[in-house]
Amino acid sequence: MKKILAVLLLTIVVIGCGPKMANQETLDALAEARAALEAAQSKIAELEAEFDELPSMKMALESEIANLNSQIDELQNKIDTRCKK
Instruction: Identify whether 2 is part of a domain.
Output: no
Of 32, 14, 15, the residue nearest 24 (C-alpha): 32
Q: What is the model's pLDDT at position 48?
A: 96
Instruction: Identify whether 52 is part of a domain.
Output: yes
pLDDT for 14 beyond 70: no
Domain count, the chain: 1
Instruction: Identify whether 71 is part of a domain.
Output: yes
3-state class percentages of the chain: helix first, strand second, coil last, to nearest 5: 90, 0, 10
pLDDT for 17 beyond 70: no
Task: Supply the DSSP string of 59-79, one letter for each residue.
Answer: HHHHHHHHHHHHHHHHHHHHH
Q: Which residue range forms the structural domain that includes residue 41?
A: 22-82
pTM: 0.54
Q: Tell me the C-alpha distance between 72 and 79, whole Å.
A: 10
Residue 15 banded pLDDT, cuts 50, 70, 90: low
Q: Tell me the C-alpha distance between 47 and 54, whole Å.
A: 11
